[in-house]
A and B are shown apart, each in its own frame.
Chain A
Amino acid sequence: MKATRPAWEEKPTAAGQAVKAASIVVIALLILFPLYTIALTSLSSGETVNRVGGLVVWPGDGITFSAYEQMFRNPVVLRSLIVSLGITAVGTVISVVVSILGAYSLSRPGSFGHKTILFSVLLMFVIFPGLIPVYLWVSAIGLRDNYLAVILPMAVSAFNVVVLRAFFMSIPQELFDSARIDGAGEFRVLWQIVTPLSKAVIAVVTLFYAVAYWNNWFNAFLYLDDTSKWPLALVLRTYVVESAPLPQASGLQDAPPTLAVKMAIVMVAIIPALVIYPFVQKHFKKGVIIGAVKG
């Protein structure tokens, strides 16, 4: 699409332009202003926050990292941050590898067992096991208080597998045929032909998985009884949303922190998304994730 108005189109009216500009500004402010004031509060001193009586809007009082220092001196927050990073890293690697392998296997209609495998993935869109059977099952197979209980139940997303599969299937068949004539096996075809061509879609799927693991707190809430294993999202929920101390906390420093520190925790929970997002966002436009579930 060119960045100029086509010749046949009438000149925009001034009123129309004004309405459009106003809506863009309002939309951008609705999203960015809360993030701005939270960031500013997390960078303000305790005195400033007390004087203002809440969130800081005007940046006149200078910037300090004392809330972040305090946060990282709180062993509960620091430990949960490390737990979250670990769960996200391990979980994302497992999910992406398993999904790429599975999606590649599903991209070959007519192969042995293809229909059975495809159906057990596609039916995940319409039939759900339900919270309670999964809860009882995960508890029964001895995963309570095990980090695997947080990772494995969400390790395969049918949506991501289907997105990968659709992309793999759009790769011209001739590439595979010539590789096979040269004697390459399936694993080699996947590794040397398919993955290099699919970097964009793999980047997007990786982002989706990583965000899902980073944001997940409910599995940890269900299965991790030991609060020292809790991830950041769950600590955020307890400290910031509930404004409560952690249940059954050990003798550690564990009062709900001050507003500036709370906002610092919010920022730490947001920052990974802010950092990775620009690298992946450009792929959205290429239509990588556009897709509807053709059940």
Chain B
Amino acid sequence: MTALTTKASPTGQVGDAPKRKAKPRAHWRERLRRDWPLLLMAAPMMILVWGFWWIPALGNVIAFQDYKPFTGGIFGSRLVGFTHFQVLFSDSEFVRAVVNTLSITAFQLVFYFPVPIALALLMHSLVSERLRSMLQSVVYLPYFFSWVLVIAIFQQMLGGAGLLSQVLRANGFEGVDWMTDPDTFILLVTSQAIWKEAGFGAIIFLAALAAIDPNQYEAAAVDGAGRWRRLWHITLPGIRPVIVLLLILRLGDALNVGFEQFFLQRSAVGTQASEVFDTFVYYSGIRTGDFDYGAAAGLFKGVVGLVLILAANRFAHMLGERGVYSK
């Protein structure tokens, strides 16, 4: 496993961490004497990482237990094997949450994924540095708003009492309420995601675009390639590694469509359209108190997600791309 890098390399690949040769290994006692200040520095981070990530992760055993929070606890509850998982797969609400999650992922793959690329191409094509910089400032901004804010803003614009309805009614039309309509919910969440995150998502493509050697364009232009051919034969191949990388990350994340956005709109839209994996875990586990059952759903998601990301990475290697990680 290698590290993350801060600059896009000339090939447009965003993952070439500077390799640094480790010194020949000394005896562990000598290394300990030499490196104890580094261990001291890592200690607070390790306490937090283990204390709030890896130790609670062990609590997933309750997915295999008849967990009794008060009388049994994690050590005193009976093991029941895969019972919760069997119940899960025959639970129509769980199936619906899975179907909704996958539909939203598929929909956003088609309608969200290309937007940051298009935005980056647009910004990259601007000759005026000032205009580009102003546009960047504007499109990055919503990324720093919370989902609560984004949904409040959408409510004020597109909700039943929102600005759009207000204008429609003032002109003798009927108002609309897209914030509570289950039929258009998938459109709503996708436009919210685009509004909030597409601009910031363009950064990585902008860096890849900036890393393409301008001489290539010049040579192609001299050889008579027009702007569309240059786009097709130089620009797109130049950013392809980044596109593949992000596509893999998204596919590996197929079960993850976000929690807050759906949780916040669940009561307004109804569970039929808005129940996704994460909201199912919350409601079945914490809200109803069936912690073992909710943990089973969460663990299932975690395991499938891990398999997906490994498979997507293997697939990228097969295509000759670098993928997310290599050995």
A residues contacting B by CB (< 8 A) are 1, 3-6, 8-10, 20, 23-24, 27-28, 30-32, 34-35, 37-38, 52-55, 57, 97-99, 101-102, 104-106, 108-113, 117-122, 124, 126-138, 152-153, 155-156, 161-163, 165-167, 169-170, 173, 185-187, 190, 201, 207, 211, 214-218, 222, 233, 236-237, 240-242, 263, 266, 269-270, 273-274, 277-278, 281, 284-285, 287-295
Nearest residue (CB) in A for B165 is A54
Across the interface, which residues of B come within 8 angstroms of A102, CB to CB?
Answer: 41-42, 44-46
Across the interface, which residues of B come within 8 angstroms of A173, CB to CB?
Answer: 20
Stretch at the interface among B86-94, B97-105, B135-143: B135-143
Across the interface, which residues of B come within 8 angstroms of A131, CB to CB?
Answer: 278, 281-282, 285-286, 294, 298
Known contacts A98-B44, A132-B281, A136-B62; 6 additional CB pairs below 8 A are A3-B127, A102-B44, A132-B62, A134-B56, A290-B7, A294-B5
Listed by A's residue number, 28 A-B pairs whose Cβ atoms lie within 8 Å are A6-B214, A6-B217, A10-B227, A37-B156, A54-B161, A55-B166, A98-B48, A112-B31, A129-B57, A130-B301, A152-B48, A152-B52, A163-B4, A166-B17, A170-B6, A185-B37, A215-B145, A236-B148, A237-B148, A240-B152, A284-B140, A287-B8, A290-B5, A291-B6, A292-B242, A292-B324, A294-B5, A294-B15
Interface residue ranges of B144-196 to A (CB < 8 Å): 144-149, 151-153, 155-157, 161-163, 166, 169-170, 195
Q: Are B5 and A166 in contact (CB under 8 A)?
A: yes
Q: Are A293 and B142 in contact (CB under 8 A)?
A: no
| B10 sits at the interface (CB 8 A) | no
Query: What 1/0 mask marks residues of chain B from 92 to 136 whose CB sits below 8 Å from any chain A CB?
Result: 000000000000000000000000000100100111110101011
Minimum CB–CB distance from B76 to chain A (whole Å) comes to: 14
Q: Are B22 and A109 in contact (CB under 8 A)?
A: yes
- CA separation between A290 and B299, bound complex, in Å? 31
- CA separation between A215 and B264, bound complex, in Å? 14
Q: Are A111 and B210 in contact (CB under 8 A)?
A: no
B residues contacting A by CB (< 8 A) are 1-8, 14-15, 17-18, 20, 22-23, 25, 28, 31-32, 34-39, 41-42, 44-46, 48-60, 62, 69, 74, 119, 122, 125-129, 131, 133, 135-142, 144-149, 151-153, 155-157, 161-163, 166, 169-170, 195, 199, 203-204, 207, 210, 214, 217-218, 221-222, 226-227, 242, 245-246, 249, 259-260, 263-264, 267, 278, 281-282, 285-286, 291, 294-295, 298-299, 301-302, 305-306, 309, 324-325
Across the interface, which residues of B come within 8 angstroms of A9, CB to CB?
Answer: 217, 221, 227
Q: Are A241 and B152 in contact (CB under 8 A)?
A: yes
B49's partner among A4, A57, A156, A185 (CB-CB below 8 A) is A156
Across the interface, which residues of A come within 8 angstroms of B142, CB to CB?
Answer: 31
Q: Are B20 and A109 in contact (CB under 8 A)?
A: yes
Which residue, of A31, A111, A124, has the highest number of chain B Cβ atoms within 10 A? Answer: A111
Nearest residue (CB) in B for A118 is B1
Across the interface, which residues of A come within 8 angstroms of B41, CB to CB?
Answer: 101-102, 104-105, 186-187, 190
Q: Are A37 and B139 in contact (CB under 8 A)?
A: no
- CA separation between A117 and B141, bound complex, in Å? 34
Q: Are A136 and B137 in contact (CB under 8 A)?
A: no
- CA separation between A120 and B42, bound complex, in Å? 11
- CA separation between A201 and B6, bound complex, in Å? 9
- CA separation between A35 and B153, bound complex, in Å? 8
- CA separation between A32 and B59, bound complex, in Å? 45
Q: Are B207 and A129 in contact (CB under 8 A)?
A: no
Interface of A is mostly: helix
Q: Are A290 and B6 in contact (CB under 8 A)?
A: yes
Across the interface, which residues of A come within 8 angstroms of B32, CB to CB?
Answer: 112
- CA separation between A134 and B20, bound complex, in Å? 37
Contacts A27-B135, A293-B324; A6 near B218 (Cβ below 8 A) = yes
Across the interface, which residues of B come within 8 angstroms of A32, CB to CB?
Answer: 138
Minimum CB–CB distance from A279 to chain B (whole Å) comes to: 12
Across the interface, which residues of B come within 8 angstroms of A106, CB to CB?
Answer: 42
Q: Are A111 and B31 in contact (CB under 8 A)?
A: yes
Q: Are B155 and A132 in contact (CB under 8 A)?
A: no
- CA separation between A153 and B47, bound complex, in Å? 11
- CA separation between A217 and B52, bound complex, in Å? 18
Nearest residue (CB) in A for B326 is A294
- CA separation between A241 and B148, bound complex, in Å? 7
- CA separation between A236 and B152, bound complex, in Å? 9
Contacts A240-B152, A293-B324; A126 near B309 (Cβ below 8 A) = yes
Q: Are B163 and A292 in contact (CB under 8 A)?
A: no
- CA separation between A137 and B295, bound complex, in Å? 13
7 closest Cβ contacts across the A-B interface? A102-B45, A133-B59, A215-B146, A110-B22, A129-B57, A130-B298, A295-B325
- CA separation between A137 and B267, bound complex, in Å? 28
Q: Are A169 and B3 in contact (CB under 8 A)?
A: yes
A292's partner among B37, B49, B140, B245 (CB-CB below 8 A) is B245
Across the interface, which residues of A come within 8 angstroms of B145, CB to CB?
Answer: 215, 270, 273
Across the interface, which residues of B come within 8 angstroms of A133, CB to CB?
Answer: 56-60, 62, 295, 298
A23's partner among B31, B122, B222, B259 (CB-CB below 8 A) is B122
Q: Are B6 and A163 in contact (CB under 8 A)?
A: yes
Which residue, of B36, B51, B69, B170, has the highest number of chain A Cβ atoms within 10 A? Answer: B51
